[in-house]
Structure 1
Amino acid sequence: MSATECVCTWETVGDAISHVYTSACINRHSACSDVITMTVGDTAFGDLLAFGTSHAVSIAKLIKPHSRDKEFSTYTGFRIMGSLLGHTAPINSVRWIRSADLAGESGPYLLLASADSKSQVKIWGCTLDSLLNMPWSVRGGNWFPLIEVLVPGSEIPNAVDGSVLWRSTSDECGVVNLDLVADTSIHVWHFILHESQTTEDGPVILCHSATQPLSYIAISRRPSMCLCLRSFCWLVSATQVIHFVIVGLDTGVTEIWTECILPFQSEHVADDGDCTRFVRSARLTGHTDWVRCLDLCRDSSTTTLSLFLATGGQDNVIRLWHIFDTTQVPDKVTLKVCDLQLPLSLDPAQYTLSIASESVLSSHENWVTGLAWAPRTRAVSFPPLLLSSSMDQSMIVWAPPDDKVRLWLERTRVGNSGVTGLSFLDCFWLPSDGSTIFGHNFQGSLSSWHYSDRDGLWSPGFPVCGHHGPVMDLAWSTFRSAANISASPFHLLFTVGSDQTVRAHAPLRLESGNNSASDCPSGISELSDHLWHEIARPQVHGYDMNAIASLSAISYVSAGDEKVARVFTATRSFVDACRQTLKLDDYPIGDNLLSVESATCSLAERAVQPTLGLSNQVSVPSSVDLMDDTVTDSTTVGVITHSDNGVASSCSAPLPTEDRLHCATLWPEVKKLYGHPYEVYCLAAHPNHMLVASACVATKQIHASIILWNGLADWSIHQRLVHHQLTVTQMAWSHDGQHLLAVSRDRTWSVWSPGQVNQQLPTYTLTAFPAKGQSHTRIIWTGAWCPDDRYFLTGSRDKCLLVWSAPQKRAPAELVAVSCCPLNVRKVFPDGVTALDVCQCSNVNPAVVSYLVAIGLESGTLILLILYSSVLMEPVDLRWSAVLLLPPPWCHVPGKQVRRVAFEPTTFGLTDTTLTPVHLATGATDGVARVFLIDRERLSACLLTL
């Protein structure tokens, strides 16, 4: 794109595009997620979740369906709004920076700290009004980078924390204390904040006063590794604050460091290595292995300092410590471990703090990885409930002593029993109600349980989950009948990733009433009455997945990093779930080859994967299973089953929970496709016939052939198409099924058309290829057909997008290969074009034919533009509209290649002047898959009028 090219601004488009779904997982680090409640005064306006996803920080908002959705009224979950981009390495730690004053307001801004594996630490700011008042389609908030620092010595951060002291009586509006542990050091920064206006009409944003921090302190703990961190500020007086930093070490020791700070002081600390202001106040021993996690809670009902500290270690033990004022709690003097050595600037006679060992909790059978005290909203007494997570695949809610029992007791245990690989790395409470707990498991998913006072049960909620590896390919479920396409506005979205899984996503239809804003679920606007979720994990493979192609609404073919492609069909329980749980009664199961009744009856009830196998097999129900199918059905909507510890079975959840997604929503494998000498790289399914094209990694022409598989003859090899010299990177069938487009690493493309008909399927002949010197100069990554199949587009690493005319239809005897030149409508982009797709665009002017083109770049950028021409002009004069760059929070991580973009299947006739909104799915190597809803009428009106 040139500097003079017309680029459409996001304000011009308005809400023509809405972001409806993001599938993402949490990075595999214990301190990589945190949640906070948005409050104004004493009123709470919902919860925000922040977590690290690859190189980005994802922001999600809590949603709660209304009570009229009886099946979902007790289930809560988070919906991702957008991402904060700026890190250049995977995120290790994320933490909200909370107000240091427990009784004070949170301020007009939200602050968030994040640290990555390349020693970069960022503090992000956002105005609270932008999160509360902006429409949902763009409700990512007005986020801006506030502070950026590098950890000296290239040390890798393990945990970050901080606090902010707000002040509204001067030009300086706050002081931020940023604390971080990295490798063998503790790092502390202090920054002064103030408000500024970048332009005369621009918004007022927060910034810090200087390029250098107010002060910086580094404390070396070599050779001990600093693993976890919590910090807080104790407001001793209006002019004096004690800053506490609590650190867990790999020696089993927990250290408490303190410093006395004067808020809004103007002098800087010149020596970065000066740590004399910090005092090691206490050294707590007891753990026999690494201290992996810790958390603290303060009693806000007293003016003196009283807090409980919980530490968890790899010795499977939780230790509780009570920090208190000796003069206020004299009965615990005999239980104290030590006195805190406070900074010398404090009067020791006035402030005497001691630490007592409160209890030792031993119930986990593996490492304790996360600890979280219940929020004050649920705590009727002090100390509150304690939540712990462990690598033993469980989380425990601990109850404090009461008048009857003077012991800490295990109240509830939740988790994933009998499932491998779902150990928990962290946990937290929902701060707004204190009745919902969340667990971050080893695969990156966030599981939740909600406690109901009515029935006294913990019920599973909506999980937040996604690929914990690059998304390599995606495909919408297809139908071989145009009637079926128009009958159902919903299509399943399949995604495959290098995490060796295939995932199915679908919209959950919610009760929308009269579609007013008040009738929509909390957190959902009137733009949509559907909530997207992952509903199945049909394939959990032993190889990284490379490609997928949908055969019908109930079957697909996929290929991993192996020489074999595999065909799968849905289970009967999955079909029932689509019709019942997802409320998709009109979702078509059959097609023109198989009736609905035949398709449903021929499906297996469920599938299992052998312990040492890669092929999902049909599970034959035993006599016990037949008597109690509520437990064995993979996605059954049944009566809540009660357990001994007051936890509802995950089988009763209306949507499958993470443990069931991992092992109980598999689809059976029906056929293996052998024929390629190397790993299968790409797949494409014919729109009308049971015909699949596949290609593998190749360095010679003999290996670069395309194989056509005949699904009507037990998936035998129908034909081999030999032309390319290197790997075929992508294939695409035309919408009418008359042509097959293949693009290759050898910088050429080929188009194949049907020749002689062999029984039910035709054989294909090469009919077009690029003229020498007229094609791309680098590898061609992607290609796609226009909806009317008159043109096709190709994108390459040479940053160019070329448009070509489709071959003319000829009789089979007249088919000859013709060299082609691109049309004079070349489009150049800042980075290589790695993904593209085309759909019909609404015709504002009936005399103009237009196509909406979605493009993904090698840099992670997503672009929309329109290719249009006048149908009255001969020859046809194709032109490009203005370019629309999707906003950064909706794009993928910079430097992470967009692997695939795909519009959902629609009718492709060009007779209608009004079209319904269409979904666009994108997937990239950052592990994120996104779905957008595009109003083609409004978007074309914006782009074509510029």
Structure 2
Amino acid sequence: MIVKNVYTSIGVNRTPSSLDWGSNGLICYGACNAVAILSPTINGSCKIIKTLVEHTERVNTVKWIQRNNQAEFELVSGGDDSRCIYWNIKSPNDYRKISLNGHENSVTSVDAVFHNNEITIVTSSADSTVRLWRFKPEKEEKEISSFQVFNLSSGICFAVKLFVLPTNNILLAFATDDDKVHICGETSSQNFDKLETLLGHEDWVRSLDFTLDNIGDVLLATSSQDSFIRLWRISERSIKKEISVDELIKVDERTFAIGKKTFVLSLESVLQGHENWVYSVCWNKNKDDGALQLLSSSMDKTMIIWTGHFKEVKDICWEPKGEFLFSVSTDQTTRIHAAWTMNKCLNYHEISRPQVHGYDMQCIAVISRYKFASAAEEKIVRTFQAPGNFIENFRNLVNSENDLEGDEILKTHQKGASVPSLGLSNKAVYEEDLKHQVDEEKKFKDEYPENYFVPMTMQSPPTEEYLIQNTLWPESQKLYAHGYELYSLAATIDGKILASACKATTVEHSEIILWNTNNWKILQRLRSHKLTVTQMKFSHDSNRLLSVSRDRRLTIFEKNNEECFEAVAYTDRNNGIHERIIWCCCWSHDDKFFATGSRDGKVVVWTKSNEVQDSSLKDYQSVATLVLETSSVTALAFAQLSFNGYLLAIGLESGIIHIYKFNEKSFECLTTLNHSDGHHLSVNKLEFRPNFSGFQLASCGNDHLVRIYDIQG
């Protein structure tokens, strides 16, 4: 069986030096505990082509290593696990990695240079040290130790940078929490001595970058929390002198020596333009004319690069026709991902961000193509309906036909949504509001209008700014009934019933509430469990509801002649196979089987038989049990095989995804997705794409990733 990853979505970690764009055209960035490699030029768009997994905690910093101005194939990363890792990805199927051990706390910044057939790496850490490593990359080493350590006592280093001078010496700069930048030079013994200290910034310096100008001088850019950028010039000279700028101002030049060479350091310029902390600076030299450009990013929100969840992704759900995928995350957003045709190739992109919330999102249920319900760490279920501008753009994207639901929504003239000041509910913006908005903007030019939504026609995948401002969905209902924070949601295939459950430690709060989606009134309150219901699934015919819980029990509710659901079977201490919390459940496509997975590493498949037992399970029984001893089972998904049997995807707490064939009595492992191809933290949800000619599997996890796989063979 061949599994091909067709879509990976994950945001960059929110640390200042967690991204680097190499001359190889690839972007590497910290993505939870992994390093993601992204190509921005695939089919006229971008795609994550690989994730490198070795760190056991968040990756804080990454850096490509360039050899002699050639395309990079090496990089270095540092993380909260106190480790720095060198990666060699020249061979796509056999990545080399070397662990650089020595730090006793989080590695916060890293840089590296290739010089004299050796790689020199510098790292800073929350353990108040700056460490240097050097090794020959062609040697087969699994780990190395640092050759020099700068001890900062109780201080902290925020940024480090290495640079090879035209004189063939290596220069080191690092910034500390005393607002200073320290310059060190490589000596004949290949150690580094402190040469100069740069003063001038009035707050912590957060980023450094060197470049060589057209006359051979070195320029160092430093950016600070004082909102200023300072440019420093380092020139090779033999005589110290003062350069008169005018009669009142003089620039003092300081000299230092590296070996037999003398260098002069002076302040070149102070750049003021940002209104908040400047977190990053980066030089660029035009290949054609050598012109220098400096890029900076700041807390004043003047630079945004791309999208993706940046915290745990708790739940995913396909739109009923399988044309786009919803995801919710503890980054307090709901996002929509869909395939976009570019250059005759399909690439997945985030196309809408219907909800930006004030609480961590927990679960989602899709009611119809243009309606969904979501819940966060609050006691409310919120429902949303697509606005007209989304429907118009989506129709252009997929050439949708016979879209009666969309036609009805367009008649309401809801164009989009905005969030009022101090509010959590998305407010609908109508065509008439947009006319008033133009008048208001003319009236109050210096104030933001409340309805800042602007309808647009998407010609290409949307930017971050567009997603935040113009893709919200109006909130249509708030559902109040639960006593604690919501934990799980489920909806019938026909969208007529929504089930919700909250965190609970008693029978009363463990009840499942069924809602009528036509009028949003409560249909029933179902009691069976004693602790939190972790997951619920309706059968495809909408006549049965399966629920699993922290109380290690499963329950089957069936619809009776009065169109009401009642508990007809459940497990207890005598017939329950699971010995730990049951995390997940799913139905087969034909509703003949359902599966449950638990913390004890067991996957159990159940079915309804013709024999009624003298137990709480009645006419339900287990038919097969799979034991995965290495990790607890956290996600399950069934799919229909064209030949005899079923496809069962199993996600583990370790991040591994197994694809099994189930033939009604036994399991056969077809393939396994390891940490790099699957997830490197707990898999939270697996969903096969409905109404698809082959097999596409969507997954999400605590590692911030949303992935979509093509499965063949």
Query: 1:603 Cα shift?
Result: 6.0
More moved, 325-334 vs 85-94: 325-334
Q: 2:330 aligns with which of 482, 485, 498?
A: 498
Matched residue type, 2:678: C
Query: 1:312 Cα shift?
Result: 1.3
Q: 1:60 aligns with which of 38, 61, 69?
A: 38
2:156 maps to 1:247:
no
SS of 1:352's partner is strand
Query: 1:707 Cα shift?
Result: 1.0
Q: 2:687 aligns with which of 902, 924, 932?
A: 902
Q: 1:139-178 alignment to 2 at 5 Å?
A: 142-151=94-103, 154-165=104-115, 174-178=117-121
SS of 1:923's partner is strand
Task: Provide the C-alpha distance between the structure 1 equivalents of 2:370 and 2:635, rounded to a whole number of angstroms.
Answer: 26
Q: Tell me the residue number matched to 1:18.
A: 4
Task: Provide the C-alpha distance between the structure 2 equivalents of 1:112 and 1:755, rounded to a whole number of angstroms.
Answer: 62
SS of 1:822's partner is strand
2:500 maps to 1:699:
no
Matched residue type, 1:859: S
Task: Provide the C-alpha distance between the structure 1 equivalents of 2:454 and 2:710, rounded to a whole number of angstroms.
Answer: 30
Cα-to-partner distance string for 1:253-288 (whole Å, 9 max, x where unaligned): 22110113578xxxxxxxxxxxxx422222221112
2:17 maps to 1:31:
yes
Query: 1:530 Cα shift?
Result: 1.0
Q: 1:222-241 alignment to 2 at 5 Å?
A: 222=153, 224-234=155-165, 236=167, 241=168
Task: Provide the C-alpha distance between the structure 2 equivalents of 1:824 and 1:220, rounded to a whole number of angstroms.
Answer: 59
Q: Tell me the residue number matched to 2:137.
A: 193
Q: Tell me the residue number matched to 2:285.
A: 375
Query: 1:802 Cα shift?
Result: 0.6
Task: Provide the C-alpha distance between the structure 1 equivalents of 2:455 and 2:95, rounded to a whole number of angstroms.
Answer: 39
Q: 2:226 aligns with which of 315, 323, 327?
A: 315
Task: Provide the C-alpha distance between the structure 2 equivalents of 1:618 and 1:533, rounded to a whole number of angstroms.
Answer: 25
Query: 1:736 Cα shift?
Result: 1.6
8 Å contact kept, 1:892–1:926: yes
Shift in alpha-carbon separation, 1:494–1:243, aligned structure 2, 3 A? same
Task: Provide the C-alpha distance between the structure 1 equivalents of 2:454 and 2:435, rounded to a whole number of angstroms.
Answer: 17
Higher strand fraction (1 or 2): 2
8 Å contact kept, 1:774–1:821: no
Q: Tell me the residue number matched to 2:28.
A: 50
TM-score (norm 2): 0.91
Query: 1:887 Cα shift?
Result: 3.5
Task: Provide the C-alpha distance between the structure 1 equivalents of 2:151 and 2:389, rounded to a whole number of angstroms.
Answer: 57
TM-score (norm 1): 0.69
2:123 maps to 1:180:
yes
Q: Tell me the residue number matched to 1:865.
A: 660
Query: 1:852 Cα shift?
Result: 0.8
Task: Provide the C-alpha distance between the structure 2 equivalents of 1:381 and 1:189, rounded to a whole number of angstroms.
Answer: 32
2:324 maps to 1:356:
no
Task: Provide the C-alpha distance between the structure 2 equivalents of 1:710 and 1:668, rounded to a whole number of angstroms.
Answer: 20
Query: 1:117 Cα shift?
Result: 1.8
8 Å contact kept, 2:60–2:107: yes
Query: 1:65 Cα shift?
Result: 4.4
More moved, 878-887 vs 732-741: 878-887
Cα-to-partner distance string for 1:401-452 (whole Å, 9 max, x where unaligned): xxxxxxxxxxxxxx5xxxxxxxxxxxxxxxxxxxxxxx4xxxxxxx2xxxxx
Query: 1:619 Cα shift?
Result: 2.1
Task: Provide the C-alpha distance between the structure 1 equivalents of 2:206 and 2:399, rounded to a whole number of angstroms.
Answer: 48
List alignment gaps of at least 5 residues for structure 1: 1-12, 39-46, 67-76, 132-140, 167-173, 196-206, 264-276, 395-414, 416-438, 440-446, 448-462, 479-484, 513-528, 638-651, 811-815, 844-848, 870-877, 908-915, 939-946
Q: Tell me the residue number matched to 1:613.
A: 423
Task: Provide the C-alpha distance between the structure 1 equivalents of 2:392 and 2:379, rounded to a whole number of angstroms.
Answer: 34
8 Å contact kept, 2:367–2:495: no
8 Å contact kept, 2:205–2:224: yes
8 Å contact kept, 1:770–1:820: no
SS of 2:408's partner is helix
8 Å contact kept, 2:317–2:327: yes
After superposition, the CA RMSD in angstroms is 2.7
Query: 1:809 Cα shift?
Result: 12
SS of 2:494's partner is coil
2:667 maps to 1:880:
yes
Q: 2:639 aligns with which of 818, 839, 843?
A: 839
Q: Tell me the residue number matched to 2:535.
A: 730
8 Å contact kept, 1:789–1:806: no
Shift in alpha-carbon separation, 1:808–1:551, aligned structure 2, 3 A? farther
Query: 1:548 Cα shift?
Result: 0.4
Matched residue type, 1:778: R
Matched residue type, 1:283: T
2:78 maps to 1:115:
yes
Shift in alpha-carbon separation, 1:889–1:288, aligned structure 2, 3 A? same
Q: What is the percent sequence identity of the aligned residues?
A: 31
2:204 maps to 1:290:
yes
Shift in alpha-carbon separation, 1:853–1:567, aligned structure 2, 3 A? same
Cα-to-partner distance string for 1:595-625 (whole Å, 9 max, x where unaligned): 5532432362111112222221212414245
Shift in alpha-carbon separation, 1:933–1:587, aligned structure 2, 3 A? farther
Query: 1:784 Cα shift?
Result: 0.6
Query: 1:773 Cα shift?
Result: 3.4
Q: Tell me the residue number matched to 1:664.
A: 470
8 Å contact kept, 1:768–1:807: no
Task: Provide the C-alpha distance between the structure 1 equivalents of 2:123 and 2:459, rounded to a whole number of angstroms.
Answer: 39
Q: Tell me the residue number matched to 2:695.
A: 918
Task: Provide the C-alpha distance between the structure 2 equivalents of 1:23 and 1:559, rounded to a whole number of angstroms.
Answer: 22
Q: 2:49 aligns with which of 70, 73, 81?
A: 81
8 Å contact kept, 1:792–1:806: no
Matched residue type, 1:491: E
Task: Provide the C-alpha distance between the structure 2 equivalents of 1:883 and 1:337, rounded to a whole number of angstroms.
Answer: 70
Task: Provide the C-alpha distance between the structure 1 equivalents of 2:239 and 2:399, rounded to a whole number of angstroms.
Answer: 65
8 Å contact kept, 2:582–2:599: yes
Shift in alpha-carbon separation, 1:381–1:258, aligned structure 2, 3 A? same
Query: 1:333 Cα shift?
Result: 9.1
Cα-to-partner distance string for 1:113-163 (whole Å, 9 max, x where unaligned): 111123211111111xx45xxxxxxxxx54221233231xx2432210011
List alignment gaps of at least 5 residues for structure 2: 442-450
Q: Tell me the residue number matched to 2:604.
A: 802
Query: 1:701 Cα shift?
Result: 1.3
8 Å contact kept, 1:310–1:318: yes
Task: Provide the C-alpha distance between the structure 2 equivalents of 1:392 and 1:684, rounded to a whole number of angstroms.
Answer: 40
Task: Provide the C-alpha distance between the structure 2 equivalents of 1:189 and 1:156, rounded to a whole number of angstroms.
Answer: 17
8 Å contact kept, 2:227–2:277: yes
8 Å contact kept, 1:317–1:368: yes
8 Å contact kept, 1:747–1:775: no
Query: 1:191 Cα shift?
Result: 1.3
Q: Tell me the residue number matched to 1:391.
A: 299
Q: 2:491 aligns with which of 679, 685, 694?
A: 685
Task: Provide the C-alpha distance between the structure 2 equivalents of 1:901 and 1:745, rounded to a whole number of angstroms.
Answer: 20
2:695 maps to 1:890:
no
Task: Provide the C-alpha distance between the structure 2 equivalents of 1:892 and 1:684, rounded to a whole number of angstroms.
Answer: 24
Shift in alpha-carbon separation, 1:148–1:252, aligned structure 2, 3 A? closer
**Number of residue pairs aligned between Structure 1 and Structure 2:** 693
Shift in alpha-carbon separation, 1:879–1:807, aligned structure 2, 3 A? closer
Q: 1:364-513 alignment to 2 at 5 Å?
A: 364-377=274-287, 380-381=289-290, 384-394=292-302, 415=303, 439=304, 447=305, 463=306, 465-478=307-320, 485=321, 490-512=322-344
Shift in alpha-carbon separation, 1:808–1:472, aligned structure 2, 3 A? farther
SS of 1:684's partner is strand
Cα-to-partner distance string for 1:774-818 (whole Å, 9 max, x where unaligned): 4211111111111111111111111011111136699xxxxx971
Task: Provide the C-alpha distance between the structure 1 equivalents of 2:144 and 2:690, rounded to a whole number of angstroms.
Answer: 54
